[in-house]
Amino acid sequence: MHPEQKKTFKEKNDIRNKLFKSTNADRQDWRKIKDEKKRKNEEKIIREAEEAKKAKIEAVDHTPPFTISIAVPGQFLNNAQSSELRTYMAGQIARAATLYRVDEIIIYDESCRMTNENVLLFEN
């Protein structure tokens, strides 16, 4: 055997202590290390949640600054022969409106049955 291999346990331990020397100030309690790691992990989770919340708010706020409206005469549905056809025609208008993302559908009366008194009451 090589002479260095015949070192005693105490000599080996002294060499090991010199290589991996740590003072009491450098040592930390394992509980403190665990608590610090847990605190950092919680801070990271909170930070990620706040960033996700900001991103979600920004992503949701992409509405156009205008509205699309269509006007349909009221007599349009009166021309249908049955209530089933009226329902079908109203459904077709609604389907077409959803394809073009219409915000509101205005049904107006084209018969013009208002008298002057009704017009004045309406304006006031």
Under 8 Å between Cβ of 89 and 76: yes
Q: What is the mean pLDDT of residues 52-66?
A: 73
Query: Where are the chain's structural domains?
Result: 69-123
Per-residue pLDDT, 20: 75
* Token pair listed for 27: 């040592």
Predicted pLDDT at 68: 92
Strands (E), the chain: 69-73, 104-108
Task: Check residue 79 and give its pLDDT.
Answer: 81
Rounded distance between C-alpha atoms, residue 90 and residue 84, angstroms = 10
| Contact assessment for residue 68 and residue 106, using Cβ atoms and an 8 Å cutoff | no
pLDDT at 48 over 90: yes
* Predicted local confidence at residue 113, as pLDDT: 73
Predicted pLDDT of residue 46: 94
Q: What is the DSSP string of 65-96?
A: SS--EEEEETHHHHT-SSHHHHHHHHHHHHHH
Whole-number Å distance between alpha carbons of 93 and 101: 12
Neighbours of 90 (CB within 10 A): 16
Mean pLDDT of all residues belonging to the chain:
81
Give 75's pLDDT tier (boundaries 50, 70, 90).
confident
